[in-house]
Amino acid sequence: NAGVTQTPKFQVLKTGQSMTLQCAQDMNHNSMYWYRQDPGMGLRLIYYSASEGTTDKGEVPNGYNVSRLNKREFSLRLESAAPSQTSVYFCASTYMAGGLTEAFFGQGTRLTVV
């Protein structure tokens, strides 16, 4: 049981390049999330998907797009990377069953845009 898996773990991009961050969970969770974390700060929500087929903007969606490919996978795309997008990106998923809920996180992707 791998939990939440993010790829890649590290990435360096040049300004203007594009890339997709991948996230997959094998726990049959309904909701998935993408966050960014800048030095000394908490996690800010970029986009989330409450269920397969739906996506919603979070606090900081500008410059990003997402795809909920299926129940397992939720990808984050940077179409034209900017230095301001240098950050650590975390993916998460939550389940809800029998009135119980919990969030699980991937290990993060450290992205540097030069």
Query: Which spans of this chain sit near other proteins (rule: CB under 8 A)?
Result: 30-31, 33, 35, 40-45, 48, 50-51, 56, 58, 90, 92, 94, 96, 99-108
> What is the residue-wise DSSP string for the chain?
---EEEE-SEEEE-TT--EEEEEEESS--SEEEEEEE-TT--EEEEEEESSTT--EE-S--TT-EEEE-SSSBEEEEESS--GGG-EEEEEEEEEEETTEEEEEE---EEEEE-
Smallest gap from Cβ 2 to other proteins, in A, equals 14
Least distance from C-beta 105 to other proteins, angstroms? 5
Nearer to other proteins, 19 or 88 (CB): 88
